[in-house]
Structure 1
Amino acid sequence: MRLKTILLTAAAGIGLGLILTGAARAQTQRATEPVIPTPAQTPPQGAPACPVSSDSLVLAGDGLRRSKAAVAQNRLNILAIGSSSIEGVGASRADLGFVPLLQTDLRARMPEVAVNVWNRGIGGETAHETVNRLQAEIERFQPDLVIWQIGTNDILRARPWNDLAADLQRGEAILSAAGVDVLLVDPQRLPENGVNFRGKNVELGEAARMIALEGNRVGYAVQRRFDAMQGWGRLSRGGIGPDDLHMNDEGYACWAAITAEGLAAALG
């Protein structure tokens, strides 16, 4: 299926069943199996195109061995963890956030594979807080692949890079012990003309560069989301909502589509 078709289908509204959203900390102990979505309605005409470049997809190297083995057995379990963009803050509906759209997009690209994507995003978290619960989440969901979105809140809260790097390496130890594959997703790009976080893209871009270097060093798959978003000029506000921080529906749809396309290609 072509990328534009996937984006249009995602943006039209998808009848997704139960996906664990992590919308409130009080719900973090519940683990609900996602269900197969119902077919989407006819997409609207004139929806924006989602650009694809080598930077926008998944740079996997040899870092997805367990996931490839799972796909060979017609299954794939993914744990998506991080902060608000994993949780889906900013989407107009829960089913238009990144995780439910990614699950739908992957199932469309790999119809013979039973794909489940669990949402364990908690808005506002830094890497330190995410790592503190990482082992418990892995034990609960037993994923083949962990998608770890990292870095945005750390930079916006002016955490030193050394602190972020220490948390990243602490997480690496947990992930290595669990034997799971990892896809690191770096910070998002924010509107250059925004009011609330003007000038932060320089720091976010540097963090993205360092996260990619560390991911490559340890053999993780990496998605350079920050670089990819530079080509999102045709999306409303570059894919970012009116608060200058959280993704809007178009941003989530585009991010899910390029992630699904990259993963499907990497997993064969």
Structure 2
Amino acid sequence: MLGLLVLAGLLAAVPARAEDPARSCEVPPYLLTSESALPRVAAAVKADQKLDILVVGSRSSTINTAEAAAWPGRLEAVLREKLPAVKVNINVELQVKKTAEEVAASLSKLVAERKPTLVIWQTGTVDALRSIDPDDFRVGVDEGVAALQTAGTDAILMNLQYSPRTETMISVNPYLDNMRLVAQQHDVPLFDRFAVMRHWNEAGDFDLFSTSHGVDLAKRVHDCLGRALSMFLIDAAHIGPAQQN
């Protein structure tokens, strides 16, 4: 039941203003920059003009009956628009109901099979819902990032979604803090999805507390996430204006 409440609160985002989504879901610049870099992405874009991305995540990286509108699909579309000379390809590997530790054990094999330039690892939700010990969660994320780096791929960590409806039911801060710690220790970018969505909610761009649901509303949130992540990725890879459209 709790899982259903989380999913409902996160995906059924209701816009408070009838504005162009590209304008109504702006993100503070500090949430779209990272001191950690993506050197392999930069090299692939410059030398190979090819960028293969593997998204490893849960159901929150999908939209039922509208996969192209989910944030990985929107990220791919925006990157192709921003980097017209680059062949961008994004695949999604769902790890449904798996903890960070369980996913970490499969990452080396996934990279060996898919050979991505970049892995975007979305994690934390299952661990928070199951109240997994935060230290065990940190160990799982640490092992997963280490496996990705050993396998020779860049990595972006993506944390939990924000939902005001579940803030009082789930203690998410220990998981957010541990992801931030692991990202710093391994010098990998962390896309703070939680803070981004909280900003949209507080700014009135989306009412994430609403109980109203609908695929169209979910599409708007995912579109904004895809756009924000594209800017974050380009910044972390230090892709200059000359390489962009």
Query: Do these two structures clear the TM 0.5 threshold for a shared fold by scoring above it?
Result: yes
TM-score by length of 1: 0.72
Which residue is equivalent to 1:22?
A: none
User: Could you tell me how far 1:95 is from its partner in structure 2?
Assistant: 1.0
Change (3 A) 1:212 1:55: farther
Change (3 A) 1:242 1:56: farther
Does residue 151 of structure 1 match 2:124? yes
Q: Which residue identity is paired with 1:107? A: R
User: Matches of 1:56 and 1:91 in 2, distance apart?
Assistant: 28
User: Could you tell me how far 1:139 is from its partner in structure 2?
Assistant: 1.1
Which residue is equivalent to 1:51?
A: 26
Q: Deviations over 1:56-104 (max 9, x none)?
A: 3242x24311111111121111111021122x0x455111111111110
SS in 1 for 2:225: helix
User: Matches of 2:212 and 2:140 in 1, distance apart?
Assistant: 30
Matches within 5 A, 1:131-142: 131-142=104-115
Which residue is equivalent to 1:176?
A: 149
Which residue is equivalent to 2:187?
A: 219
- Do the aligned partners of 2:149 and 2:155 also contact (CA within 8 Å) in 1? no
Structure 2: gaps spanning 5 or more residues: 1-17, 240-245
Which residue is equivalent to 1:263?
A: 233
User: Could you tell me how far 1:231 is from its partner in structure 2?
Assistant: 1.5
SS in 1 for 2:148: helix
Matches within 5 A, 1:114-263: 114-190=87-163, 192=164, 194=165, 197-200=166-169, 203-233=171-201, 234-238=204-208, 248-263=218-233
After superposing on structure 2, the runs of 4+ consecutive aligned residues of structure 1 that deviate more than 6 Å are none
User: Matches of 2:182 and 2:211 in 1, distance apart?
Assistant: 30
Choose from 44, 54, 59 the match for 1:70. 44
Change (3 A) 1:139 1:109: same
Change (3 A) 1:123 1:236: farther
Q: Which residue identity is paired with 1:133? A: S
Change (3 A) 1:103 1:58: farther
Q: Deviations over 1:190-247 (max 9, x none)?
A: 1x2x3xx35146x22332122112101111011111111112123443398758xxx9
Task: Compare 161-170 and 124-133 and name the one that shifted more.
Answer: 124-133
- Do the aligned partners of 2:107 and 2:147 also contact (CA within 8 Å) in 1? yes
**Greater RCO, 1 or 2 (C-alpha within 8 Å, sep 6+):** 2
Question: Aligned residues, how many?
Answer: 213
Q: Deviations over 1:18-45 (max 9, x none)?
A: xxxxxxxxxxxxxxxxxxxxxxxxxxx8
User: Matches of 1:222 and 1:260 in 2, distance apart?
Assistant: 13
SS in 2 for 1:212: helix
Q: Aligned Cα RMSD in Å? A: 2.3
User: Matches of 1:66 and 1:211 in 2, distance apart?
Assistant: 22
Which residue is equivalent to 1:29?
A: none
State percent identity of aligned pairs: 25
User: Matches of 1:171 and 1:65 in 2, distance apart?
Assistant: 19
Structure 1: gaps spanning 5 or more residues: 1-44
Give the structure with the larger helix fraction: 2
SS in 2 for 1:259: helix
User: Matches of 2:232 and 2:74 in 1, distance apart?
Assistant: 14
